[in-house]
A and B are shown apart, each in its own frame.
Chain A
Amino acid sequence: MSQGSQAQPADPGCTVILAELRQILADVTRRPELLDARADAPLFGTGIGLDSLAGTLLLREITHRYGVDVAAEDINLDALVSLATLADFILARSPGRAMGERASARRTGHEHPQDRLRGHDRDQHPAGH
């Protein structure tokens, strides 16, 4: 999935999830041009330049949508190498949800206040100070 995945994703679930991840990324960074981001473009550093604020919002939204807590499983956050690696990581852990079964996704926090609050309640997500 790390090369050429934007043109020909092997898995239809991957196509869906990549489109969703681009949308989330564009939302959390407020950069609509990221809707066209290459699947293999590095998320950190030059290029997409994900910083810790946008990264935190991205991970919160992924937990909310797919029930996948990247930070709790991936010590080096290698899932965040690119959109393609992130899509693979999510698909491997939550294939059903990635295909659109959202209702049962664990709601442990994302950037909307009410849901962030759940994160505060459970005190298990970055919640500021």
Chain B
Amino acid sequence: MTPARQQDASPAGRTTIKCVAWDIDNTLLAGTFIESGARQPPADPEMVAVLAALGERGVLHAIASRNPPAAASYAAQATGGQFVAVESGWGRKSAAIGRILAELDIAADALAFVDDDPYERAEVSFALPDVLVLSPEDMTDALDWPVFSPDVVTDEARRRSELYLDKRRRQEAEREFGGSRDDFLRYCRTEISIVAAAEADVPRLHELSVRTRQFNSAGQGATEAALRAMIGAPGREVVTVRLRDRFGDDGIVGGCVTEHDADGRWTVRLLMMSCRAMGRGVIDALLAWLIRSAADSGAGALEAPSVLNARNVPLRLALAAAGFRAADGAALPGDRDLPAAGGQRVVFRRSLDGPLPELPGWLTRPAGPDEPGQPGPAGGSGVHRDPR
């Protein structure tokens, strides 16, 4: 690896790679898959090592190959890799990569594409300039690059492939299912638990703060030190949100930092949720819990300062659905598109007068007057403490 290349391909501030899309022939395999062949080429041992190392770091793998689907099955078996999305076919590789991005719901700059064929690399680079495009030789070196080296690897990260496969099974079940979303969540035996954050949760909270885009109110990451300092600090409440159902245990999928000031104002300093949990009632349950907790404590208002950008429209939909409104005078510039990052800071406010949202039956929340930061003596009556 030359320092120049590392600088070029892995500039400071580049998004961490979440998924690598692999070619098969002469990339994952040391040779070309033969459609009718009895003897297939073996896996490339260097790429087998790279697949395993990246998997350990929570990076997902996908296949984008001009081969029949049987080649992907063979490549998975030969390399021992777990591929969460497979695109086999004879169309353009950039189109295959596009389908992988859509299926996994990740942005182009969070994907790397590895192919031995310079033509394919050029085609993908041209069509998708944000994708990190590498040859197999580059990929071996790139293992040391910061974009492939998350500073901490959480349990959720290590199990990420498995969680995406659970997600696919859940989506297939949902397509077959006839009823409403809430009926489906009940059928899935959805369990959402809001739990006071502990020291051990800090790495995962930090990871969520830097990885989440669609549901992130702050628009920027929070350091582990900052998160650690907030846990147990007076006037602050830090919670984690856990999710599991009959298809699998997603672990911690969200978190939230609230500040309670002497004037009775509750401010949500950070609100974040993994997009993997989207459509499963998590953000709605978290917001309903926040609103009810603030109201139960006698707070005058609940505010959620948010940095608006083109990526976190889902957060705004959730805030709007929960009855939050931009504080007086806030407006968007109008006919311009929102920026992808950065963006406009707006304080959303939820009135605590009038009807409060119902807590869904699948939510477990911290309870009891002994709960640190828990509002009011009656705040947790009638609910049970999370057993974990």
Contacts and interface: CB of A to CB of B under 8 A. Distances in A.
Partners in one complex: yes
A73 B313 contact: no
A53 interface: yes
A72 to B, nearest CB: 5
Interface in A5-38: 29-31
A127 B213 contact: yes
A75 B102 contact: no
Contacts of B182: 49
* Interface SS of A by simple majority: loop
Interface in B73-109: 95, 98-99, 101-109
Interface stretch (A83-91, A95-103, A112-120): A112-120
Nearest to A33: B180
Contact of B337 (A30, A72, A117, A126): A72
Nearest to B273: A52
Contacts, number: 148
A44 B332 CA distance: 22
B27 interface: no
B278 A117 contact: no
A45 B90 CA distance: 45
A10 B98 CA distance: 42
A51 B330 contact: no
Residue of A29, A55, A75, A127 contacting most chain B CB atoms (<10 Å): A127
Given A44-B320, A75-B346, A127-B213, A56 B313 contact: yes
Contacts of B315: 52
Contacts of B105: 127-129
B282 to A, nearest CB: 10
B165 interface: no
Residue of A53, A76, A120, A128 contacting most chain B CB atoms (<10 Å): A128
Nearest to A78: B320
B107 A123 contact: yes
Given A31-B180, A52-B283, A126-B214, A76 B311 contact: no
28 contacts: A29-B181, A30-B174, A44-B320, A49-B181, A50-B321, A51-B281, A51-B284, A51-B317, A52-B279, A52-B317, A72-B336, A75-B308, A77-B316, A112-B102, A113-B102, A113-B103, A114-B98, A117-B102, A117-B128, A123-B108, A123-B109, A124-B340, A125-B310, A126-B214, A126-B312, A127-B101, A128-B107, A128-B213
A124 B107 contact: no
A80 B314 contact: no
A75 B18 contact: no
A123 B284 CA distance: 26
